Amino acid sequence: MLKIGHRGAKGHVAENTIESFLKAFELGADGIELDVHLSADGEAVVIHDETVDRTIKNAAGFVKDFTVDEFKKLGIPTLVEVFHILPEDKLLNIEIKDPLATKIVVEEIGKILRLGEIQLQNILVSSFAWPILKEVKELNSLIRIGVLTEGDPEAALVFAKEISAFSIHPFFGSLNGDFVGKAKQNGFQIHTWTVNSSEDITFVRNLGVDAIISDFPDRL
């Protein structure tokens, strides 16, 4: 079972920062999950919300209105920067939040793969917006896809079959043994989120999931 740090080690360090990702690895994570939007100058930047208001002190506004240079001053990394700090044996789960970021994310994945710095099996692209996942598959059919869902894992299973996804990423509260068994019989991994308490971690472990995404990778 893989231990995945949610936005790095969100329970310990400011989310979606280089420091948070490095902390997750320090705590024994097998991989990290992060979120991507598009900057004003067309680069994939790592931030969860469509605005900077919640995560950045003394700053406000939409992500799409800030340039990469401005983000650097605010401590928000680009996806490419994260590629360069990813250990070669770790997993990177890229969650695309902004549909406009899809093409550039696929392009940047292609570039880093050609450089040989990251292997295909170490990258996974997920999204709650399933049309984004369709677009990723159309742009590069080799990229592994994770179908995110909050409340309807059965629908996610149907869609995962349609696009030949690698994994299904359900909210842990929607999971049961029957679904996990059915998904595995169909060849899909189950990566569940965001599991933080010891009771919930025990629950999903007993279901036999393939990966747990947590704010506290050290608890897994």
pLDDT at 73: 95
**Which residues of the chain fall below pLDDT 70?**
none
Element (H, E) at 143: none
pLDDT at 78: 98
- CATH architecture entry for 2-219: Alpha-Beta Barrel (3.20)
pTM beyond 0.75: the answer is yes
* C-alpha span between 56 and 59 (Å, rounded): 6
Residues involved in catalysis: 6, 48
Whether the Cβ atoms of residue 41 and residue 101 lie closer than 8 Å to each other: no
- Pair of tokens at residue 86: 């990813």
pLDDT at 114: 95
Whether the Cβ atoms of residue 58 and residue 119 lie closer than 8 Å to each other: no
* C-alpha span between 161 and 207 (Å, rounded): 21
Give residues with Cβ within 8 angstroms of 25, minimum separation 6.
5, 32, 87, 90
Domain segments of the chain as ranges: 2-219
Count Cα atoms within 13 angstroms, Cβ side, for 180: 19
What residue has token string 């996806």?
Answer: 79
pLDDT at 126: 98
pLDDT at 70: 97
- Pair of tokens at residue 6: 């949610």
pLDDT at 53: 97
Cβ neighbour number for residue 139 with a 10 Å cutoff: 15
Supply angle C-alpha 111, 124, 34, rounded to 5.
90
Tens digits of residue pLDDT in 171-187 = 999 999 999 999 999 99
Tens digits of residue pLDDT in 90-118 = 999 999 999 999 999 999 999 999 999 99
